Structure 1
Amino acid sequence: MTTAESSPAHSLLRFELLVLYAIALLAFCNIAVFYSFNIYMERLGIAAEWRGPLLGMEPLAALFLRPLISPRLHLRNGVTVMAGSLVLIIAALLAYRFATTVPTLALVRLLHGTGFVALVSGAAAVFVHFIPPGKSAAAFGVFTIMTQAPFAIMPPFMEMMLRHTGNEAVAYAWVSLIMLPALALLYPLRKRVERLPEEPDTKLATGLDRIRESLLPRNVRRLLLVNLLLFMAVTTVYFFIKDYALSIRMDRPGLFFTFYICAMLTVRAFGSPFFDRLDKRKGITFALLLLAACMIFLGETKAQWAVLGLAVIYGSCLGAAMPLLGSAVYLASPPQSRGLNTNLMLSTIDAGYVFGPLLGGALLASGLMPSGLFLVAAGFAVLASIVTWATRFQMESGSPKAEPAGS
């Protein structure tokens, strides 16, 4: 039995969850500022064939590190890991000002990725212990609101900062200051965690054996694949939408992020109470197909108003699909594997952030127009919908149950 299940506090707004929501918000603020990193590297004179790998270098660190550290994370050490990771993130943000070559940028991106993956993995390991019974989709909905809100706030904020600093690296250094409140919030969280009884998962096997055990349910494996395909699509749009916006002479490309994130947050804020009662198989499949259609039209339109309208649809689809997927993985997992599987789900996001820009950068370098990348992204979304529809969700009170191990 998890801590949340044995606690009388069944609110999504209990103190521990509020702290974790805030840390997630601040953590993703330091990622959202890199939406124009490809343009920044171009100004530095970085060759096109290196820009894709450097975009993916930070999530590449996460891709390799998260599976190594996730089986060793639990309620007891999660807060300590978060504190150390925040120090690494602050150091990395300050170091961008001194990294102007491929080797130095690669080093800073790897340092940044190491700090970020440790922060989010530690937060996820603690977060699952405080999810109220019967409210997993709503809890993941709020958590993902915190992870996505920065992508609406930070791009226009960065555009404003660039008008004053004139340089992205200087702006990144200023962004390091917002990590300081996250460090301060960890102290009261640690005190709360220390008062809790020791969790049984601190004594579980670590390493690959635990990962293999957590992946035994077929639904878990399929849902992780769906999440990977989804983020291959999303990151392709995320990293190259500014290139496309500039090619159609869109005045304020940062507005795309504002519109789609605001739509996403609206869906999550008003839809979260219903997500736990929704047929997740149908809901995820429909959202993915509509997302694919949106990406296809996005590559065909040249009008700014149409791009922003599609941004609203795009954000609405993600606003439904992502918390439903998070809830489905949580519910399909045995209780002792929920923290690990949540981190494995984050690993598929890492993989998307690595291979999305790698593929996109390679295709652009080969001569593909930015609009063509959106057709590739749509293909990933369609594949994700097919895998979702092929997954047999066993329903109980509107939620899928875990399949028997090895099924």
Structure 2
Amino acid sequence: MKKEALWTRGFIQIWVSNFFLFMTFYFLLVSLPIYAIRELNQKQSSAGLIVTVFIITAILIRPIAGNLMQKIGKKAIFLTSLLIFLSASVFYLFTDSLSGLLFVRALHGIGFGMATTATGTIVADILPSSRRGEGMGYYSMSMNLAMVIGPFIGLQAINSWGTSTLFILAIIFAFFAILTGGFMKIEHAPEMEMSEIEHTEKKGIRFNQIIENTAVKISIVAAIFGIVYSSILSFVSVYAEDKGFISVSGYFFVVYAIFMLMARPFAGKWFDRYGANKIVYPCIVLFSAGMILLGMAESEWMFLLSAALIGLGYGSMFPCLQTIAIQKAAPHRRGLATATFLSIFDIGIGFGSYLVGIIGDAIGLNAFYSFSSIYILIGIAVYYYLHGKTIRKETIIPKKEQFNTGA
């Protein structure tokens, strides 16, 4: 039987647009904490706040964006979000204080939260249901490739080219996100039926209109791991500078992504064939091993080896968790499922960024990274009780029926 196509024109367009969105995100994520510490004379806790404010606004806007997509369509929300994202990128050129930077970060978070909710929903609708796990894995590569190039260029810019060049590049990347995604054809189905929209409007906004209940448990799992992952996103470049690894700091995410990309095609196919548990449990162990090695790193090769283990572990686990959230939702509620998953996950990222900044000031990042490996292993039990133990029950339902019913 011939496989349904994955790499359609629409999939490629949304893939490239999402790449530039995350390129801008990662580009600024690793450089702005350094900018705040060096040029604005802030502590690590304030640098973490720069990430937290961005995440908070993204969290607050996502349920609203998910609900609006059901009413006015995905394309309208997608284009609006890209314009907000580009506008915020321009405003960075005019900020020279922490308060001004926090305001721009808040606006940028709104655009990013709306855009990533839209792209996650659009790609879920584009992908054939029989290959959704595999397709989501390939789609996630756009984020991971951005994770390689973005931090590398961001650290090069902040260390060698200056902040003006840093912010101009952010504008260019945001512009390309619009250029590639703004002209794609987006199908209207499966949106909420008009009769259902009118019915919900008469009854007013209810909890299940902004939260997809079936996605909550697996989203909590993602948020728990996101707390640790935030320490890498926000502070691994600061940690590398403190340890004297500045010459290879930009290569951390390169190594991370290389090993993640090597594993991703296999992880997606195994997810579709064997189920989530066969992927998630080994990934948690690899993630934990990578974090303890990062905390113990006394040489550049140990620093980069930790990136390889984290890439294999966390880099393969995250798209599996997101796919679970989408599969459990009914087709017309995939937008809310995506919004719910990303919002709860980002609570972990936002809370973690601020918490890690405080802990880093108190005990040092190396101690935090080492202790976090134990925390990650505890996450095995959390995953099991919130989702893992239900896998056997779900596998008795034929795969086709799972996708059609949202089971």
Distance 1:124 1:197, change over 3 A: closer
Q: In the alignment, what sits opposite 2:31?
A: 36
SS in 2 for 1:74: helix
Q: Contact 1:46–1:102 (CA<8 Å) still a contact in 2?
A: no
| CA deviations over 1:95-119 (Å, ceiling 9, x no partner) | 2222121221111101111111111
* Residues in 1 aligned to 2:156 and 2:145: alpha-carbon distance in whole angstroms: 17
Q: Contact 1:66–1:343 (CA<8 Å) still a contact in 2?
A: yes
Q: In the alignment, what sits opposite 1:116?
A: 112
Q: Which runs of 4+ in 1 moved over 6 A?
A: none
**Displacement after TM superposition at 1:92 (Å):** 1.6
| CA deviations over 1:60-102 (Å, ceiling 9, x no partner) | 1111111222222139622122222222222222222221212
Q: In the alignment, what sits opposite 1:71?
A: 67
| CA deviations over 1:19-47 (Å, ceiling 9, x no partner) | 11111111101101121321110112343
Taking only the aligned residue pairs, the percentage that are identical comes to 19
1:210 equivalent in alignment to 2:208:
yes
Choose between structure 1 and 2: higher helix proportion. Answer: 2
**Displacement after TM superposition at 1:249 (Å):** 0.9
Alpha-carbon RMSD: 2.7
Q: Contact 1:63–1:350 (CA<8 Å) still a contact in 2?
A: yes
Q: Contact 2:68–2:77 (CA<8 Å) still a contact in 1?
A: no
Distance 1:46 1:57, change over 3 A: farther
Q: Contact 1:70–1:343 (CA<8 Å) still a contact in 2?
A: yes
Matches within 5 A, 1:4-403: 10-34=4-28, 35-48=30-43, 49-74=45-70, 77-162=73-158, 165-167=161-163, 169-190=164-185, 192-193=186-187, 199-200=191-192, 203-204=196-197, 205=200, 207-211=205-209, 214-215=212-213, 217=214, 220-250=215-245, 251-365=247-361, 367-390=362-385, 391=387, 392-393=390-391, 394-395=394-395, 396=397
| CA deviations over 1:120-149 (Å, ceiling 9, x no partner) | 112223222212021121121011111121
What code does the residue aligned with 2:34 have? I
Q: Contact 2:259–2:312 (CA<8 Å) still a contact in 1?
A: yes
The number of equivalent residue pairs is: 390
SS in 1 for 2:128: coil
Q: In the alignment, what sits opposite 1:3?
A: none
* Residues in 2 aligned to 1:280 and 1:201: alpha-carbon distance in whole angstroms: 32
What code does the residue aligned with 1:229 have? I
What code does the residue aligned with 1:243 have? V
Structure 2: 5+ residue stretches without partners: none
**Displacement after TM superposition at 1:257 (Å):** 0.9
What code does the residue aligned with 2:81 have? S
**Displacement after TM superposition at 1:270 (Å):** 4.3
Q: Contact 1:148–1:261 (CA<8 Å) still a contact in 2?
A: yes
* Residues in 1 aligned to 2:100 and 2:11: alpha-carbon distance in whole angstroms: 37
**Displacement after TM superposition at 1:201 (Å):** 5.0
* Residues in 1 aligned to 2:56 and 2:376: alpha-carbon distance in whole angstroms: 22
SS in 2 for 1:383: helix
TM-score of the superposed pair, with normalisation by structure 2: 0.87
What code does the residue aligned with 1:200 have? M
Distance 1:45 1:209, change over 3 A: closer
Structure 1: 5+ residue stretches without partners: 1-7
SS in 1 for 2:26: helix
Distance 1:197 1:30, change over 3 A: closer
